[in-house]
Amino acid sequence: MKEIIRLFPDHFQLLLKRNVNWKTVQEIRLRVQRKIEILDSNQNTCLSDHTLTSTDLSYVLNQISQFSLYRFKDQLKDGFITIEGGHRVGLSGKVNTVNDQVDTLKHVSFMNIRVARSTKGYVEPLLPYLHKDGRWASTMIIGPPHSGKTTLLRELARTIGSHSSYPASKVAIVDERSEIAASLQGVPQLEVGTRTDVMDACPKAEGMMMMIRSMSPEVIVVDEIGGIQDANAIREAAYTGVEVLCSIHGSDFHSVQKRPSTCSLIDERVFHRYLVLERLNQRSSGSIKILDENGYVIAHIKGRVNNGVDRSYDDPVRNNVGRV
């Protein structure tokens, strides 16, 4: 994880190399006048040798922004910057507003580096539920933060867009936050499939229509759909005959069904499958519920390894227990 370590002053780099398990770390949290906090699949710990100063945090921020925060003004309004490798750096501090709207973020005093990784193989048990009659099913991935939505979305894109047990399809990723493919100067840094094309740093609604017009995909992949505009673009894409894979924040199917932006998509049966993820933490090994277009459970896959990255599955357990 050299792209993360290099962000820090020299006196912290050695600490990070020695004390962080880079195979399991999920977050690195920075707070002025406090010790660096490390969160992984088993515990949260603090680096005990040094307290982070405002000078240290400014150093990290300058490395992230390449000494030009102005270039990242739009991302600062969203509260995060995505760096090389697809790692998302969340930022918190003093907000400046104009006409009651967030203009920019200043005096950054808190950071959260969310570590991204590419994985292979763990989606295989899901594929029979997502592929039918020679085509992939439009699928919404539902889960709270730290449930692995983006990781799962990336692995599905890679699998669908590569020759495996199923013929490779033409996949288009609209990567608004540069987290799925982690593109650097337009080139994906993470493996997303041999037949996969990426539109990087483009708003989802515009990007989906651009990709349909220019790249003729069979499957479109987008992360973290939000408002009505995103939902309308997904509906439009689905009506052109393209299958859509997307993710959304939510605790369960019902919580998403109640949201104004997505309730109509559910009612219109735009999605044929829903994958509901359990939050990954040290007390839970995680699970995935597979729901049909009506919201009924058709399978429950248990036993993900709770580091948010490398996961294995038991054989699917069919639970026809009704709507969740």
What digits encode the pLDDT tens for the residues 195-252?
999 999 899 999 999 999 999 999 999 999 988 999 999 999 999 999 999 999 999 9
Q: Examine the pLDDT at 101 and tell me if it is beyond 80.
A: no
Residue 171 lies inside a defined structural domain of this protein = yes
In angstroms, rounded to a whole number, what is the distance separating the alpha carbons of residues 73 and 71?
Answer: 6
Q: Examine the pLDDT at 310 and tell me if it is beyond 90.
A: no
Element (H, E) at 221: strand 219-222
Position 70 confidence tier, pLDDT thresholds 50, 70, 90:
low
Same domain? 51 vs 134: no
Residue 316 lies inside a defined structural domain of this protein = no
Q: Examine the pLDDT at 319 and tell me if it is beyond 70.
A: no
Torsion sign, CA atoms 68, 184, 92, 114: negative
* Maximal C-alpha separation, the chain: 59
Strands 273-277, 243-249: pairing is unpaired
Q: Which domain holds residue 284?
A: 124-302
Owner of token pair 């090994």: 285
Amino acid 285: pLDDT:
60
> Which of 89, 114, 139 lies at the terminal end of a domain, its last residue?
114
For residues 173, 192, 151 and 286, what is the CA-based torsion angle, rounded to 10 degrees?
Answer: 120
Same domain? 209 vs 100: no
Instruction: Decide: residue 296, CB within 10 A, 0-12 exposed, 13-18 middle, 19+ buried.
Output: middle
> Which of 58, 83, 114 lies at the terminal end of a domain, its last residue?
114
257-273 tens-digit pLDDT: 999 999 999 999 999 99
Which CATH number covers residue 252? Answer: 3.40.50.300
C-alpha closest to that of 201 among 219, 230, 223, 229: 223
Position 305 confidence tier, pLDDT thresholds 50, 70, 90:
very low
Same domain? 139 vs 41: no
Residue 313 lies inside a defined structural domain of this protein = no
Same domain? 86 vs 209: no
Which residues, at least 6 apart from 195, have a Cβ–Cβ distance to it below 8 Å? Answer: 161, 162, 168, 169, 170, 171
Same domain? 199 vs 289: yes
Q: Examine the pLDDT at 315 and tell me if it is beyond 50.
A: no
Q: Examine the pLDDT at 309 and tell me if it is beyond 60.
A: no
Amino acid 281: pLDDT:
65
Residue 315 lies inside a defined structural domain of this protein = no
Q: Which structure tokens are listed for 143?
A: 């889960």
Position 284 confidence tier, pLDDT thresholds 50, 70, 90:
low
Half-sphere exposure of 15 (CA within 13 A, CB side): 18
Look at 113-122, 167-176, 239-248 and tell me which has the smallest mean pLDDT.
Answer: 113-122
Same domain? 146 vs 173: yes
C-alpha closest to that of 42 among 288, 284, 310: 284
Same domain? 138 vs 208: yes
Residue 311 lies inside a defined structural domain of this protein = no
Average pLDDT over all residues of the chain: 86
84-99 tens-digit pLDDT: 887 889 999 887 778 7
Once rounded to an integer, what is the mean pLDDT over residues 18-25? Answer: 90
Which CATH number covers residue 16? Answer: 3.30.450
For the chain, how many structural domains are there in total?
Answer: 2
Same domain? 99 vs 136: no
> Which of 114, 144, 170 lies at the terminal end of a domain, its last residue?
114
Once rounded to an integer, what is the mean pLDDT over residues 173-201? Answer: 91
Question: pTM score, two decimals?
Answer: 0.79
3-state helix, strand, coil in the chain (%, to 5): 30, 30, 40
Which residues, at least 6 apart from 235, have a Cβ–Cβ distance to it below 8 Å? Answer: 264, 265, 268, 270
Position 160 confidence tier, pLDDT thresholds 50, 70, 90:
very high
Q: What is the share, in percent, of the chain residues with pLDDT greater than 90?
A: 59
Q: Sheet holding 35-39: strands in order across? A: 44-51, 35-39, 27-31, 101-114, 88-98, 80-82
Rg (CA), the chain: 20
Which residues, at least 6 apart from 124, have a Cβ–Cβ distance to it below 8 Å? Answer: 159, 165, 313
